[in-house]
Amino acid sequence: MTTTSATLGERLDALIDGIDSLPSTHLFGAIALFSVAFAVLLLNTGGAPQIRDSALPPHRLEQRDHSASTRTSARTTAAARGGSEERREPKWHILKHLNYAASVSFLASVLYFASDASRFLDDSASLLKFFAGWSVYLCYFLGFFGISFVDADGLEREEREEEEAQAAHAGKKDVAPVPERDGAVSRALQGAGSSCTSSPVKPTGKLHPPAACAPVCSDPTPLSSIKKVAPTSSNLKELSDARLAELVLSGKVKDHQLEKLLDPHRAVQVRRLAFDAKLADLGRGGALENLPSFPSLDYERVFGANCEIVVGYIPLPCGMIGPLTLDGESVYIPMATTEGCLVASANRGCKAISQGSGAISSVVRDGITRAPCVRMRSAKEAAELKLWCETTENFLSLKKAFESTTSFGKLLGADPTVAGRNIYLRLRCFSGDAMGMNMVSKGSLAVIELLRDKFPSLELVALSGNMCTDKKAAATNWIEGRGKSVVVEATIPKEIVRTTLKTNVRSIIQTNLHKNLVGSAMAGALGGFNAHAANIVTAVFLATGQDPAQNVESSNCITLLEETDDGDLWISCTMPSIEVGTVGGGTGLPAQAACLKAIGCKGGGENPGDNSRRLASVVAAATMAGELSLLAALAANTLVQAHMTHNRKPTAAAVSK
């Protein structure tokens, strides 16, 4: 006699009948015992892969730090280990496996029910069992499903890639830790981030580690990761501003998340505390005290110096990028702009440069120019004047007349150009730490008076004959230079290109070639062989009190990228006409002076011209950071997506709701 084996459904029915036959007290006891065992297994035993601090939500870090602060011995141990205390983490990964099991079993029960739905619908007992089981699944799904997925996998994977990239180049790097200072904020700064790499230039000052996080506008992916780990802000709002600044410095709270976690006004105050601590470590503490965060302006400083018929002022948001390793020092760079994503993108470039060799700058020429236009009676007389000015002895006479009007100015050259009866005498002057337009204009008048004595028929047409050339695109500035001529370079390891810039060396080089070089040539560009140098130059100019109109010639830039023998990325920006000063003009206003102090070049330098040359190098290095990040976004085709994701405010109607 052949026996038919029980079907799966019959076995499940038998199992359910067996459970029904159990006394309710035994059944509830088994459920309670299982729950306790599961909780002990999940929450009280370690051994799971440890979640890094940077992947934990800030409120969990705050709770952990608060409890740790009550245990002196634990704090001492953590400090001895550099803040990387080992601790046992709950086995959160068990929930992930449980989620899969629950999902599969739920789908199996649905398929089993669908296989013979008519019979189960007619059998009230079976139907009740299905509904009871599905109710349990529903409770689980609503209460626990997905817990293990909200664990910052994206951020953890991204940070792991960056650590691997830095470890691959560990043999080429020297750690330059931030010296210990008194106070909790300094301890947070000491342990924040990763080690800063050394550059071919011997460090001449303190180096801060590269920024611990990529800015949200560098790539569209970080925003989704932020949403995963963003905690409820109630815990953070209860903390003091100083404590929040410590969390920012230690990397436990990302500075670009502050507006979401707190509110925009308080976020600015916390961020100011954090940056002030960083600047204080570089010997520039208190630099931001005169950078207003609330509406204020000293109109007495404005009157007679900066503006006439004053009715108010236009506030501009001012961001800060860095640290950027420049010539062996860490520098933070203020940028005033209303263009969303610009500061965040430039900050990503700073991070990549600091993770690599750091930026290395050279000022190859320094001299502001003025070109008076004079007119003679004939072209022959104009030619005679030109030849007279080019004689060494006569130039020394012009130099003496020019320098009699200034304490710092030095006449470096006088280059005459003839056009019929016109002479354009381009005078080049060293102006110390001033941008120098007033200085060179006053000296030019003295030169004209001397020439009138030698050539009585000389007629001054205009003190500025447009061959200077000021605030206009001109080949003479591109070729001969004006102000400071700067070249800056850096080498970015290929792994940093991949992990931080989200592209590869070959793609970014090809993008620069076909866009910045070929594309600009086809457009007939004059000094515009770059991606967006004017963006960075203008933002730094506005923050530091420079003449924003001079961004026309100051933004002359050619960006070059090459692949090194090791497969790394070499980048340079050559900028022949950066016109900046650290004294005079808008640099005396409190907010702009605060930004110059933050950079480390407020006022006159120890030697005339030191601070203005430093500022020019900072402008060039910031431009290179902006070029690097934008080219990477274009190479990876993430530019539009990033701007649409991060640079769009809700509509007014949505906000009002």
Check residue 417 and give its pLDDT: 97
pLDDT at 606 over 50: yes
pLDDT tens readout for residues 243-292: 999 999 988 898 888 888 888 788 888 999 999 999 999 998 888 888 88
pLDDT tens readout for residues 349-378: 999 999 999 999 999 999 999 999 999 999
pLDDT band (50, 70, 90) for residue 300:
confident
pLDDT band (50, 70, 90) for residue 75:
very low
Check residue 241 and give its pLDDT: 92
Q: Which of 89, 339, 384, 415 is an active site residue?
A: 339
More confident call, 479 vs 198: 479
Check residue 335 and give its pLDDT: 98
Q: Would you call 339 a catalytic residue per the annotation?
A: yes
At 604, list the tokens.
């006159």
Helix (H) or strand (E) holding 568: none
Chain center to CA of 243 = 23
Average pLDDT over residues 129-143: 72
Closest CA to 58 of 234, 242, 219: 234
pLDDT tens readout for residues 613-622: 999 999 999 9
Q: Which of 169, 471, 563, 610 is an active site residue?
A: 471
Chain center to CA of 627 = 12
Q: What number does CATH give the domain 184-364+485-656?
A: 3.90.770.10
Q: What SS3 state is found at 423?
A: strand
Q: Would you call 227 a catalytic residue per the annotation?
A: no
Check residue 434 and give its pLDDT: 95
Decide: 323 and 255 in contact? Cβ < 8 Å. no
Indicate the burial class of 414 (C-beta count within 10 angstroms; 0-12, 13-18, 19 or more): buried
Check residue 163 and give its pLDDT: 56
DSSP class of residue 638 equals -
Check residue 46 and give its pLDDT: 45
What's the full length of the chain, in residues?
Answer: 657
Average pLDDT over residues 516-535: 96
DSSP class of residue 650 equals P
pLDDT band (50, 70, 90) for residue 79:
very low
Q: Which of 206, 386, 442, 643 is an active site residue?
A: 643
Domain ranges of the chain: 184-364+485-656, 372-467
pLDDT tens readout for residues 383-441: 999 999 999 999 999 999 999 999 889 999 999 999 999 999 999 999 999 999 999 99
At 572, list the tokens.
């340079």
Check residue 6 and give its pLDDT: 60
pLDDT band (50, 70, 90) for residue 229:
very low
Architecture of domain 372-467 in this structure: 2-Layer Sandwich (3.30)
What is the distance between the alpha carbons of residues 413 and 486, in angstroms, rounded to a whole number? 19
Check residue 86 and give its pLDDT: 41
Closest CA to 355 of 199, 176, 201, 196: 196
pLDDT at 242 over 80: yes
pLDDT band (50, 70, 90) for residue 314:
confident
Average pLDDT, the chain: 80
Q: Which of 53, 547, 563, 610 is an active site residue?
A: 547
Residue type, 472: K
DSSP class of residue 583 equals B
Per residue, what are the HEC states of 109-174? HHHHHHHCHHHHHHCHHHHHHHHHHHHHHHHHHHHCCCHHHCCCHHHHHHHHHHHHHHHHCHHHCC
Q: Would you call 386 a catalytic residue per the annotation?
A: no
pLDDT at 588 over 80: yes
Q: Would you call 97 a catalytic residue per the annotation?
A: no
**Which residue(s) pair with 562 in the sheet?**
570
Cα 621–Cα 641–Cα 630 angle in degrees, nearest 5: 15
Assessment of whether the complete model's pTM goes beyond 0.75: no
Least confident of 89-98, 177-186, 380-389: 177-186
Check residue 115 and give its pLDDT: 79
Check residue 69 and give its pLDDT: 42
Q: What percent of the chain has pLDDT over 90?
A: 52
More confident call, 166 vs 47: 166
pLDDT at 3 over 70: no
Alpha helices in 169-233 (DSSP H): 184-191, 221-229
